Amino acid sequence: MQTVQPIRDKYLIEAMKQELRKVSYRNYFLFVMGINTGLRISDLLPLRVGDVKGQTHIVIKETKTRKMKRFLINLELRNLIYDYTMNMRMEDYLFPSHKTDLPIKRVQAYKILNEAAENVGIHDFGTHSLRKTFGFWHYTMHKNVALLQDIFNHSSPDITLRYIGINQDIVDKSLEHFSL
């Protein structure tokens, strides 16, 4: 299985947004929701309009852990949700398939996101990169691994740091000028 990485460059985040927006507002919205909530793709895709429209929090039972989780929807994302769902019904899926009445599948989400990533020059990218990008930037801004560990439901700070690629960044930096 491929190890995917967070997007560590804000310029590339913006490039992804533009690339996805060119193709579809749904695809752009999927990316923005993912990097702003830190939800797993398996928890994002089945969301319905009523789960987020007019809400301050997303309340779900996580698919992987089966635990209830409550995620704040930041103000910028709330405004985007309002725009995106303006002409949608409360029972509509947020990320509907164009072929069925169901939401897009994880494989389709991967294809959409990975194609955009390739187009903007991002490597080691997958659907989990959205969650890892959220984690990387949350940690970069707040430097609170315990808080991020709680958000991600990880059992230790080491797991969280390894998950978001911080440990690898630290190792790489320590070895960059190491020479005997």
Token duo for residue 133:
């990008």
| Residues contacting residue 42 through CB under 8 Å, at least 6 positions apart | 63, 64, 106
- The catalytic residue positions are 40, 64, 128, 131, 154, 163
| Residues contacting residue 20 through CB under 8 Å, at least 6 positions apart | 27, 28, 30, 31, 112, 113, 116
Token duo for residue 101:
């009445």
Cβ–Cβ < 8 Å for 49, 91: yes
- What is d(CA 153, CA 156) in angstroms, rounded to the nearest whole number? 9
Residue 93's beta-bridge partner residues? 48
Coil, strand or helix: which one is 58? strand
